Amino acid sequence: MPQNVAEWIEQSRADVFFETSSLDPQTGQPATQHLMAALQHGAHAITANKGPVVHAYEALNALARERDKKFLCESTVMDGVPIFSLFPFGLPAAELRGFSGVLNSTTNVVLTEVEKGLSFDDAVRRAQALGIAETDPANDLDGWDSAVKVVALTTVLMGIPVQLEQVQRTGIRELSEEKIRSARAAGCATSWCAARRGAAPGLIAWCSRNCCWRRSAGQSGRNKFSDSFRPGCVRVVAGGAQSGSGCDCLRIVGGFSSRVRPLN
């Protein structure tokens, strides 16, 4: 019996390895070790975990190139929306200069439920019942998930090495329920926004509270991401979509053959 991931990969002789373990924002482990082991043993590596992108993106890409394999991470931000594929494949002449948007679904659902009258704790339980919030929602509520996504987007799409500690991060636990409801009554929606401005490595990105905009009728403001780049501007609205990891796998399979071959 295999005693660790490296032994399992060696014995299974996998062609493609999917990494979907829980996020550790501080270290990116054990996901990074799993991906390194997969590439070392000759498997393509796909991750839905943001940690390895934040802490070891260049190292994983270098190893993938050395082993003539692919390291792909489409599901790490916005899941099925091809945000990482958008620029190199769809907008190759564009230069991303900044971004801002709602990058965390849990905080958005919690704030929406508080607007409707639930207490903060009940709103969290509602998000968990809907399958949006995790059993331990601390990474979402304390801003870690959004901060990690800011670093991932800056690293991959802007080519700027950013450390997690450079992101000014706050959570939503300290927000007043009364203030959230008052903003809604005034026609605004309190949303948790993440942003990055400018291309200089020293500039700091942020995940901030009390970022409000006026909603039009029937618009929830959920899962919006806007990009500013040369020569124009695009906004991608994310809804239910196919898995980004599945799309990554199809990209790899497409590299093998124009048709998916049977497993045998």
> Which domains does the chain possess?
5-80+242-256 (3.40.50.720), 90-237 (3.30.360.10)
What is the pLDDT, as a whole number, of residue 11?
A: 85
Residue 228 sits at φ, ψ, to 5 deg, of -110, 130
Q: Residue ranges of the alpha helices (H) in 105-188?
A: 105-115, 120-129, 138-141, 144-157, 177-185
Instruction: Measure the CA dihedral 255/257/263/264, to 10°.
Output: -130
What is the pLDDT, as a whole number, of residue 50?
A: 93
What is the pLDDT, as a whole number, of residue 65?
A: 96
Extended beta strands in the chain, E state? 16-19, 44-47, 71-72, 95-101, 168-169, 188-197, 206-214, 224-230, 233-237
What is the pLDDT, as a whole number, of residue 199?
A: 55
Q: Mean pLDDT per 10-residue run, the chain (264 residues)?
A: 79 89 92 95 93 96 96 88 85 83 87 93 96 92 90 90 85 86 76 63 52 40 41 33 66 56 40
Beta bridge partners of 18: 46
Distance of alpha carbon 9 from alpha carbon 11, whole angstroms: 6
Strands 95-101 and 188-197: antiparallel
Distance of alpha carbon 137 from alpha carbon 125, whole angstroms: 10
- The catalytic residue positions are 149
